[in-house]
Structure 1
Amino acid sequence: MLAATHAAFSTALYLGGAAVFEYPTEPIAWGLAILFSFMPDIDIPTSKVGRPLFFISVPIEKRFGHRTITHSLIGVGVLAALASPLYLLWPVGFWAILGGYWSHIQIDMANIRGVDLFWPSPLRVVMPGKVKYRLEVGSKAEMIVLCAMLVFCVGLYPMSNLGLRGGLHQILKDFDIAYGEFVKVQGLTWHTLELKAIDNLTLEHIECACPVLGAWQKGLIVAYRKTDLVRYYFPRFLAFMFKKFLALFSYRIRDILLLPAFKIYLRRFI
């Protein structure tokens, strides 16, 4: 496969892993995943990594050939052993390196020849099984796959920052997911709860973006700004001034009865 295809596929796996396992997307780890997606091709001197490392790639090609030892489980194991000290210091970086390396092998299975995954066994692993569905290097089919992966990565990037649960939360507007997301990060960032609800004391309908103060008994405690009542007790000018004062300094904390029929979601409060 082309280097661009390997870079796109490693990016898709990295962002997909961030969405599923909810690790932070770090530029350095992302770059390592892309860099090591080129490394299995060190067994060919004309590759992106083979040219600068010709003193390594030439002997490997002469001794083992292309898509053999470096595209096998042995190659993955050797890399894991070499990178293992990094696991203790920076686990995300370790898995980015290993994941990027594996992404190269996995996408090369879609090549016509496949890879010798179980080298030194001559058994070749291909995906899919029928030759007509596999990709030739640099073919029009590979270009289509590359473009599709790039579009997929663009769409996957927001999901990688939200995580799988966060993405479902944005789609479903589910309060239970919002509650779980808040509990994980409470005390670290400010959040608001955008809701439509009914005050269980006055039965008035409430629609607001309320700052979340904390979690309590599978629910959220929010600060509800209340300034409308002052107009009933003050002359217009004094009411206006008093409302401005309350808008700056006064919050009333209320228990809110959250109705499941309403759409509720949590977003970062800036």
Structure 2
Amino acid sequence: MLAPTHSVFGVFLTLIILALFGVKLSLHWTIMLFAILGALLPDADHPASIIGRFLYPISSRIERRFGHRTVTHSLIGWMSATISASVLIAFVSLIPLISRWGWSDLPVRWAAAFSIGYFSHIVLDMFNKRGSQLFWPQEVRDVIPLNHRYRINSGSRPEIVVFIIIVLMLALTLPISKYGIGSSLHWLLATSGSAIEEFKSSNLVSYLEFKGYFKDTKQPISATAEILDVVNERIVILLDGKIYTISDELASDIIAEKMRVKQGKRPVQVERKEFKDKSREYLESQIPDKALVSGTIHLPEGMKVTLPAGAGSFNIFEQKGGDLYLRFAGKKQIRELALTEQFDLQRKRDLVDLSGFHARARKIRSQITEAGEEYEGLTELGKQALLGKEGIEKQNARIAELQSQLAEVNLNIEEVQLRIKSRKFVYSGEVYIRL
């Protein structure tokens, strides 16, 4: 076979095998370059070949000593070339530019592509009239098929037909090698289950291209939405700023007829934040405009929150006792959180009570001051002469009673202040912000 046929077949076989092993994004030009290099190198034993002319001093010596399609077209030659290339690639991978260019994951694929390309050359030459000495140094040539009339001469018209067929097969292989066999199968099936499996296999931001209808209104819809999560075999999506569930089941907000996952280019970014007695305004200031918040918020005792209604059946808010659970809540929805009328009324009552206790405390302090200042300029003898012993005792008892009343009122003030503080609308807890 000629170099173009070997090159195309080497790339084709490389992409197929890498896809079978779950390697995505195999279309990098360097991978195909190593596959072509491997597919051409066995002809280094033939000085007239492309690679032979490039390596002429070596190719001429190999041909004189071993002949064409012998040692370089054998399993020994394949393994030797693979090991040598792998060692060389390992040294090349240490060059800082490889990492700087974002190629740090490619060296292993380069070695695999070279090895597959090399082996593809040996296999393809077995369909030639002369075949290959696969088990060199045995002199028996291995051919496919055994009948020589069905084998191909290099450069003949049948080889051109084979070349065209391989090119067509390569074209069909390109999407498989880009997305992987699993992803390609998921794309063809376009079902809810295949979309879920595709979403779970990636850590990138994913989008769902779907066609279906809303369960409640039967209104048809064809759109693309960001995938947030999978809950009970239903995909949670963000569509036009609202949260919906979608699947092929009737329990979803959107019943899908077809759905395919499209991978984005950036990874999912999530920030973890802890809050302790922080206001809603503070929390809002920590949330970017398009971010979504999930997590648990501990509310003050007795607080009930008015939960805004969602667009679909997916509850972005849920209150259980003193805990508020958030699932992909946007900044707008968090702003809509409000205290109940009962809580507002109780808070107003607390403020009224606090104001009354402060007024009473001021009155008692004024009475204590008046009682103490009434006979402030008199000596003890003067007070006894003016009030008598019994009058002094009554005055002291009156002041003591007022001081006791003031202490009780101050205690009431502290209790109301603590109650107001405990009822202050603040957040404590742990949330995850999806950027």
Q: Distance in 1 between matches of 2:182 and 2:4?
A: 30
Q: Offset at 1:150? A: 1.2
Give CA-to-partner distance per residue, 1:96-132, whole Å, 9 cap, x none: 1111111111100000111000001122211122111
Length-normalised TM-score, structure 2: 0.52
1:212 aligns with 2:227: yes
User: 1:97 maps to which residue?
Assistant: 114
CA contact (8 A) 1:10 1:34 kept: yes
Instruction: Please provide the CA RMSD for this pair.
Output: 2.3
What stretches of structure 2 of length at least 5 have no aligned partner? 94-106, 250-254, 266-435
Equivalent residues in 2 for 1:35-46 (5 A)?
Answer: 35-46=37-48
Q: Distance in 2 between matches of 1:10 and 1:171?
A: 26
The structure 1 residue matched to 2:262, chosen from 241, 261, 267, is: 267
CA contact (8 A) 2:235 2:247 kept: no
User: 2:77 maps to which residue?
Assistant: 75
Q: Distance in 2 between matches of 1:267 and 1:127?
A: 42
User: 1:170 maps to which residue?
Assistant: 187
Q: Distance in 2 between matches of 1:169 and 1:153?
A: 20
1:221 aligns with 2:223: no
User: 2:174 maps to which residue?
Assistant: 157
Q: Distance in 2 between matches of 1:175 and 1:133?
A: 47
Give CA-to-partner distance per residue, 1:223-256, whole Å, 9 cap, x none: 233xxxxxxxxxxxxxxxxxxxxxxxxx221334
CA contact (8 A) 2:229 2:237 kept: yes
Give CA-to-partner distance per residue, 1:138-197, whole Å, 9 cap, x none: 1111111111111221222122212212222222212222111111223x2331241425
Length-normalised TM-score, structure 1: 0.81
Q: Distance in 2 between matches of 1:257 and 1:75?
A: 53
Equivalent residues in 2 for 1:1-270 (5 A)?
Answer: 1-23=1-23, 24-25=25-26, 26-85=28-87, 86=89, 89=93, 90-186=107-203, 188-199=204-215, 202=216, 204-205=218-219, 207-209=221-223, 210-225=225-240, 251-256=241-246, 258-259=248-249, 262-268=257-263
Q: Distance in 2 between matches of 1:256 and 1:5?
A: 47
Tell me, what secondary structure is at the counterpart of 1:254? Answer: strand
Q: Offset at 1:34? A: 0.6
- Name the amino acid aligned to 1:120: P
Q: Distance in 1 between matches of 2:236 and 2:189?
A: 22
Q: Which has the larger radius of gyration?
A: 2
Structure of higher RCO (CA pairs closer than 8 Å, 6+ residues apart): 1
Q: Distance in 2 between matches of 1:15 and 1:207?
A: 37
The share of aligned pairs that are identical, in percent, is 33
Question: Which structure has the highest strand share of the two?
Answer: 2
Q: Offset at 1:218? A: 3.6
Tell me, what secondary structure is at the counterpart of 1:19? Answer: helix
- Name the amino acid aligned to 1:7: S
CA contact (8 A) 1:71 1:116 kept: yes
CA contact (8 A) 1:197 1:256 kept: no
Change (3 A) 1:144 1:17: same
Q: Distance in 2 between matches of 1:158 and 1:257?
A: 26
- Name the amino acid aligned to 2:79: G
